Amino acid sequence: MSDTTRITVRGEQDYDVLIGRGLVADVVAAIPPAVRRVAVVHPGTRPLDAQRIADAVRAAGAEPLLLPVPDGEDAKNAEVAAFCWAELGRAGFTRSDAVVGVGGGATTDLAGFVAATWLRGVRLVQVPTTLLGMVDAAVGGKTGINTAEGKNLVGSFYPPAAVVCDLESLSTLPAVDLAAGLAEVVKVGFTSDPVILDLVESGPASALDPESDVLGELVTRAVRVKADVVSADLRESQPGGLGREVLNYGHTFAHAVELVERYRWRHGHAVSVGLVYVASLARLAGRLSAQDRARHVDVLHSLGLPTSYPDGRFPELLDAMRIDKKARGDQLRFVVLDGIGRPGLLEGPDPALLTAAYAAVAKESS
């Protein structure tokens, strides 16, 4: 995949997602010449990508401010956001300056929240450097931080000026994180683009190869699905139908796992188990065939992703699911499938079904 692909996300403010290799110049191009200061929010454990962007920003005549933050979900809390605000204040950041988020999904979520809240909003450019960030977190305009009570409970919708997905950054990504990111790719394969499933099934090794054209196509397909969904339902408020909620396939259970595990699980691993849980739930509810449920397990297994969760923890998980953002009052609602590429809603399922689906997920590990 040598050419740069440009996918436009429509909304209150349209923006482009660029996918290609060697795109540092495109990051700088998304920052207007009038910008004098650019805060580069990045994980302190991986400074090289941020330093390259900072050097390019300086060469273009602006002053970069490197803001190292903790890695992963440890960055997504009020204390780290307050650190960023304090640094922006000390540097004299004005409304005409910009924030660039460089890193995984947690980093871009935090950077977006900081940009959305500083002076009620400054220009934001997202540069996801993980597969998960590219296909999920950085696209869609959602920003947020976690609280002790749950994930992403504090946040805002704030579209970036651009999202730049430089596939070269995937070459330095640990293999376990690359595989975890593919859980979100597979998710949209099941809900919206079955060609994704065909590509993975025909060559899991190519899907896991950061240099392969197959992985580039998977990223492009996943981003295009998300861009189409977000363009049609910017703020999860589309009346009738699923709208943006389709992107939550597998996530009600996944977010519960993350909370119960105190975010020690990778998001993609939790999503993988969440996909098997909701496929089991749909199967038990008579909505999904046994063959399609088995396909979930097979595709995820082929990528080395987990498909089970230990038995005996369902009361904790159920409590966590009840405070998930997708619940309505006390009524749980799940995005389910009526077949591959045919998503729908299951609202207020019988508690016995919820328990039986959990038993099916726990059985996977036996």
Q: Are residues 110 and 258 in the same domain?
A: no
Q: Are 54 and 64 in contact (CB under 8 A)?
A: yes
Assigned domain for 349 exists: yes
Q: Among 135, 195, 177, which residue's Cα sits nearest to residue 303? A: 177
Q: Is 236 a catalytic residue?
A: yes
Place 244 in a pLDDT band, splitting at 50, 70 and 90: confident
Please check whether residues 109 and 251 belong to one and the same domain: no
Catalytic one among 267, 269, 283, 296? Answer: 267
- Name the active-site residue from 42, 123, 142, 221: 142
Question: Is the same domain home to 134 and 100?
Answer: yes
Task: Point out the catalytic residue in the list 46, 248, 283, 296.
Answer: 248
* Active-site annotation holder among 123, 251, 293, 296: 251
> Quick one: 132 and 196 in the same domain?
no
According to the model, what pLDDT value does residue 329 have?
58
Average pLDDT, the chain: 92
> Is 258 one of the annotated active-site residues of the chain?
no
- Mean pLDDT calculated for residue range 348-352: 94
pLDDT over 70 for what percent of the chain? 94
Verify whether residue 255 is a known catalytic residue. Answer: yes
Residue 238's pLDDT is what?
A: 55
- Which CATH number do you get for residue 310? 1.20.1090.10
Contacts of 158 (CB under 8 A, 6+ apart): 112, 113, 115, 116, 121, 124, 141, 143
Residue of 184, 217, 245, 258 with catalytic role = 184
- Are residues 56 and 24 located together in one domain of the fold? yes
Active-site annotation holder among 226, 266, 269, 293: 226
- Same domain for 71 and 189? no
Residue 221 lies in a domain: no
Q: Note if 244 is an active site residue.
A: yes
Residue with tokens 């016995």: 352
Name residues whose C-beta falls within 8 Å of residue 342's C-beta, 6 or more positions apart in sequence.
none
Quick check: is 267 catalytic?
A: yes
Q: Are residues 62 and 194 in the same domain?
A: no
d(CA 171, CA 306): 23
- 333 compared with 241, residue with greater pLDDT: 333
pLDDT at 35: 95
Q: Are residues 145 and 186 in the same domain?
A: no
Residues 313 and 277 in one domain: yes
In a domain, 247, yes or no: yes
251 has catalytic annotation: yes
pLDDT at 263: 85
| Domain of residue 66, residue span | 5-172
Task: Confirm whether 142 is a catalytic residue.
Answer: yes
- pLDDT score of 83 more than 50: yes
154: domain CATH number is: 3.40.50.1970
Instruction: Give the model's confidence band at 233: pLDDT under 50 very low, under 70 low, under 90 confident, else very high.
Output: confident
The whole-number pLDDT of residue 236 equals 61
Same domain for 42 and 114?
yes
Comparing 47-61, 103-117, 142-156, 234-248, the range with the smallest average pLDDT is: 234-248
Task: Tell me the mean pLDDT in the region 194-212.
Answer: 96
Same structural domain, 159 and 194 = no
- With a cut of 60, say whether residue 327 has pLDDT above it: no
Residue 323: the pLDDT is 80
| Residue 210, both tokens | 């950061």
Determine, yes or no, domain membership for 222. no
Domain count, the chain: 2
Confidence of residue 1 (pLDDT cuts 50, 70, 90): very low
Q: Identify whether residues 132 and 186 lie together within a single domain.
A: no
Catalytic residue among 63, 211, 236, 261: 236
Nearest partner of 251 among 150, 365, 116, judged by Cα? 150
Q: Is residue 228 part of a domain?
A: no
pLDDT 10s digits, 119-153: 999 999 999 999 999 998 768 888 999 988 888 88
- CB burial of residue 67 (10 Å; 0-12, 13-18, 19+): buried
